[in-house]
Amino acid sequence: MKKVTLIPGDGIGYEISESLVEIFKAAKVPVEFETENAGTDVYEKTGELIPESLYESVEKNKIAIKGPITTPIGKGFRSINVYLRKKYDLYTNFRPSRNLPGIETRYKNIELAIFRENTEGIYIGEEKFEDEEKTSAIAIKRITRKGSERIIKSAFEYAKNNKISKVTVVHKANILKYTDGMFLEIAREVAKNYEGIDLEELIIDNMCMQLVTNPERFKVIVTMNLYGDILSDLVAGLVGGLGVAPGANIGDDIAIFEAVHGSAPDIAGQNKANPLALLLSSLEMLKYLNLNDFAQKIENAILKTLESDCKTGDLGGNATTTEFTKKIIENLG
Ligand code: NAD
């Protein structure tokens, strides 16, 4: 039995986590969940946004799966998600996307993974006004050699392990010559160590155009924090939206798997939430734990369920969260 910290989050987080736990139990996955939560619900009960016991659990188990957590606008903290990524140096944001059966999309044959640098870039949030009248503001974009090298290596390692012969690096080095220029330079250096894998270089604006005309030609994309943030939601939209977008934040020591979407306050508590994004994230977690057979078994049941046209409202169906979960369990065989 492998222990995993389960952070349900809030909003629809409770419903989709319940679905995950039930499916793992039915599939007899050798994973024991240790539930620890964070966020405003926890704050109201305990006075702490992230309890000490959550850190202890994550640091002991080294692996966690997390539902969405609401970030209140205009109040105290920025984001628990961003905080955890920073605290545990989870530098790889891994966002795989692919077409799924029964989900109508404009494009077919998409299967690509985005590697987004998760700790640097303009996302560090170092901003200030330049004058007292607040007529001008600046933000710092920090790119380091270490940060760039490790994310680019992650992307190339993934390509190597999955027998993919091209990695696309996305940048704006024509304008940002020091920051993006260094990232691109390092991509060229790293690529030299991977025989048989080509490096394709694309400027971010061109990349956006290519992704909405020919998305199927990309397999692995590596880029800086903000470009990766935007591109990964764009690609999620190409394959059916945020309800089907899995993700993971991976460091050298600790990994946190998570659905990409937010807490969906508009449908929370109504048994309407689509648990697929969290479930697909859990499959990536099982592969990370070398439990590939269990990942395959659950994936087959999910695909069979979608093929039978059992879908939640966000995908044009009318199944509730519990009906969809039940059907997947039935299809586990
Ligand atoms: P959201 O992703 O919560 O919702 C956007 C739309 O997509 C809503 O209409 C929602 O109903 C729908 N949706 C999202 N996930 C769905 C699912 N699984 N099934 C069915 N429909 C789904 O985005 P938002 O409304 O901008 O954010 C709400 C809160 O979540 C905010 O406080 C935000 O900061 C937070 N958030 C958290 C995370 C995270 O914890 N990783 C990520 C994004 C946003």
> Of the residues 242, 256, 270, which should be mutated to test ligand 1's pocket, given the most ligand atoms within 8 Å of the CB?
242
Which tokens sit at 71? 């970030």
pLDDT in tens, the chain (333 residues): 999 999 999 999 999 999 999 999 999 999 999 999 998 888 888 888 899 999 999 999 999 999 999 887 655 566 788 889 999 999 999 999 999 998 989 999 999 999 999 999 998 889 999 999 999 999 999 999 999 999 999 999 999 999 999 999 999 999 999 999 999 999 999 999 999 999 999 999 999 999 999 999 999 999 999 999 999 999 999 999 988 999 999 999 999 999 989 999 999 999 999 999 999 999 999 999 999 999 999 999 999 999 998 999 999 999 999 999 999 999 998
Active site residues: 123, 172, 205, 229
The ipTM estimated for the assembled molecules is: 0.98
- Catalogue all structural domains in the chain, each as residue range(s) with its CATH number: 1-93+245-332 (3.40.718.10), 106-239 (3.40.718.10)
Residue 261 alpha carbon, nearest atom of ligand 1: 2
Is the separation of the CB atoms in 73 and 224 below 8 Å? no
DSSP letter, residue 148: H
Closest CA to 139 of 126, 152, 155, 154: 126
Separation CA 189–CA 69 (nearest Å):
38
What number of other Cβ atoms are within 10 A of residue 133's Cβ? 7
Distance 12 CA to ligand 1 centre (A): 9
Separation CA 98–CA 109 (nearest Å):
7
The pLDDT tens digits of the residues spanning 199-228 come to 999 999 999 999 999 999 999 999 999 999
Distance 263 CA to ligand 1 centre (A): 4
